[in-house]
Chain A
C-alpha cells in the first residue's frame, strides 16, 4: 500500500505530490536557516520570493502569513516553522492560527490532553 492514500481529517501528509508542488516555497524557507537570508527576506519580501520562483498561491500565503494556505501550496511543517521563526512565532501561535482558536484556547486544548 502506498503512503499517499491518506484520509486523516485536518492532516496533509507531505508526500510526493506535496513535495513537487511545494519545492520553491520549501527551498525558500530552508534558506531561512541563515540569519543573513532572513534579513534579506525582511528587507524586500517580494524580490526574495521572485528569486526563489514562488507560485502565486505561495506568494499569497507568505504575504498573508497564513499557514493553512502555505500547506495547501505544498509547504512542509518543518520548513514553514523557519518562516514563522522570523516573526518570533512559536508552535502555539501557529497551532492557534490553523485551528481558529486564540493562543490561550489552543494552550488549554494541549493541557486538556493530559486528562
Chain B
C-alpha cells in the first residue's frame, strides 16, 4: 500500500510569486518568511514523496460563480497555471497522478462525499506557489492531485465537514494499492482580511493557538462555525480550512505525528503567514508515543 509520509501547510499570497521571480528571498522584508522553508525542504529531501495531494482554494482562475463547487478534485495528467490578472509570472505546468486522483474520487465518494471531478483544471497561485516554495527547482519532482475547497462564495463547507473530507482523503491514500510515497499539503491563511473597513485585520493570538492545535489537538478548530472563523481570522483567514483538511488526512489509523518545523511571521502583504510540516510516525513509534503520553 502507499505510504502517507506527512503533511505541510503554508500561506499562499500572490506576492510570493513576484518575490521568487525577482529573487528577493533574502531581502529584509521577505527573509523572515522564506527562512521558514529550508528545514522543511531538507525533510522533504529525505522523505522523498512521489505524489502530493494539495488542498487549496481557487481565487477565480479555474472556477467562476457560474459553477462553484464546494469540493472539486482534479483528475488530469497535467495542470496548467495561467494569468490571474494581478501580474504574477505564470509557472510551468505540474504533472498529475491519474491513478491516485481516481482512487481518491472513488473512495471518498463511497464515504458519502459528493465531489466535482475535473479532467481539465487550471491551478492558481494557491496551488503552484506552495509547491514552488517546497520544490524551488525548475522541474518539480512530485506529481499532484489538487483538491479545491470553496472559500469564495458562502455558504462554505463547515470546518467539521472539511476535517471529515481530509480524513477520508487520508484513508484513501492509505488504501491505495501502490508503492508510492504520498504527502498532503494545505495552503492558505493564516489570519487576514482583504475587503471592507476591517481590511488589515490580523489575529496573532488565534493563529498561534491554531498552530499549536495542529500538533496537539487537530480537531480544535472544528468547534467554530464558518462565521465564527471569519470573525476570529478575517474573511480570507477562513482559508485555514485547508490546513484542517491536511491535518485530518494524517489522523488516519491513529498515526502519531512529529513536528518537523513551523514558522509564523507578520506581515507579508496583508497576511499573517504560517508554515508547518508534520511527519507521520511509523506504527511502532506511534504506539510508543501514545504510551509515553499516557504515562
A interface with B by C-beta (< 8 Å): 1-6, 8-16, 19, 23, 26-27, 29-30, 32-35, 38, 67-68, 71, 76-82, 84-86, 88, 90-92, 94-95, 98-99, 106, 109-111, 113-114
Contact = CB atoms under 8 A, between A and B. Distances in A.
A103 to B, nearest CB: 11
A33 B230 contact: no
A8 B200 contact: no
A82 B154 contact: no
A79 B66 CA distance: 13
Nearest to B88: A85
Given A4-B154, A91-B270, A95-B270, A85 B198 contact: no
A34 B84 CA distance: 8
B156 interface: yes
Interface in B165-197: 193-197
Contact of B204 (A78, A82, A113): A113
28 contacts: A2-B155, A3-B156, A4-B155, A8-B227, A10-B196, A10-B197, A11-B196, A12-B196, A13-B154, A15-B155, A23-B65, A27-B65, A30-B60, A33-B61, A34-B85, A68-B196, A77-B195, A77-B235, A78-B60, A81-B86, A85-B87, A91-B194, A91-B270, A98-B196, A98-B197, A110-B266, A113-B204, A113-B267
B204 A94 contact: no
Contacts of A15: 153-155
Given A3-B225, A110-B202, 20 more contacts: A2-B155, A12-B196, A13-B154, A13-B227, A13-B230, A19-B153, A33-B82, A76-B60, A76-B153, A78-B59, A78-B152, A95-B194, A98-B196, A98-B199, A99-B197, A99-B200, A111-B266, A113-B200, A113-B202, A114-B204
